[in-house]
Amino acid sequence: MKSVSIALNRVWPTQLRTDRLLLRPVTREDGPLVDELLTDDRVRAHLGGPATQDRVVARQAAYPMTAGAFTVVRVADQRQIGLVTIGADHRCEGRAEISYQLLPAAWGEGLGREAVAAAVSWWTDAVPGGGPLVAVTQKANRSSCRMLEAIGMTVVDELDEHGRQCVYTPAGGQDDSDLRWLRLLAERRDAVERHRGAQARRRARPRPARTFPTTFRRSLPRNWPGCALPATAPTAGSAPAWPITRRTFTWAGHRTARGSPG
């Protein structure tokens, strides 16, 4: 399965139309919309709170270059009212995540549901190699949960991330969604098996014998593993058979210290 980014780049840029909305790629002219969405207390209530100014500036620069980032435009007055983004899910390789933010002035009219449903359908129909899709929302955000359930998404998991989060995916009755999940799971199993095989090969590989530099071997006791010193020590009064280092040895009951024969 191709990565989410590669799959998006193959079909990007694109526009989506519904009865009341136009979803188009984010442009630099949408900077004020990004600022308003990221700093509004109500919009950010379940998203970790308002973003810092540095974060706002970074997102204003990044969105226009991000495949899968849509500006939601209300057709009736051509006003930008929100963002819908599909991108790689950082929690699971090969899986896509849809996120959405709508200005409070556009709440309560079903526009969020309409925009997210259009993006989900586009992903399912026009991005066949994109992998499974999820939406993650706080369990306490009941309006977001109801909206996802209204467009046919179901909870498949829960996780702790800035509070208890629900993980939604398009209903299991969609054959394409099921196949995407099966392909992803098969890829994950293959990756695990390859990793285990590599570990087994490393463990089975013979380890080289321990060796020491010659100068280091001279300072080791005679029976140290890998130390190639004479099998017997010299007797007292005889010249040593190998260079003596500055350490103390006991030979035949006599003591030799600081490299001088006893």
Residue with tokens 């590989």: 205
pLDDT value at residue 144: 95
Q: Rounded mean pLDDT of the chain?
A: 80
pLDDT value at residue 55: 95
- Quick check: 11 and 5 in contact, CB under 8 A? no
Confidence of residue 2 (pLDDT cuts 50, 70, 90): low
> Given a cut of 80, is residue 154 above it in pLDDT?
yes
Domains of the chain are 4-194 (3.40.630.30)
pTM, two decimals, is 0.66
The string over 179-201, giving b where at least 16 C-beta atoms fall within 10 Å of a residue's C-beta and e elsewhere, is ebbeebeeeeeeeeeeeeeeeee
Instruction: Using alpha carbons, select from 125, 215, 214, 247 the residue that is nearest to residue 174.
Output: 125
When pLDDT is averaged across residues 225-254 and rounded to a whole number, the result is 49
Q: What does the alpha-carbon distance between residue 197 and residue 199 come to, in Å, rounded to a whole number?
A: 5
Q: Is the peptide bond prior to 13 cis by the omega test (within 30 degrees of 0)?
A: yes
String of DSSP letters for 172-201: TT-HHHHHHHHHHHHHHHHHHHHHHHHHHH
- Residue bearing the bigger pLDDT, 186 or 19: 19
Q: What does the alpha-carbon distance between residue 101 and residue 107 come to, in Å, rounded to a whole number?
A: 10
Out of 38-42, 53-57, 173-177, 221-225, pick the least confident.
Answer: 173-177
Q: What does the alpha-carbon distance between residue 84 and residue 29 come to, in Å, rounded to a whole number?
A: 16
Question: Per-residue pLDDT tens for 174-228?
Answer: 444 554 555 556 666 666 777 788 888 888 877 776 655 555 545 555 555 544 4
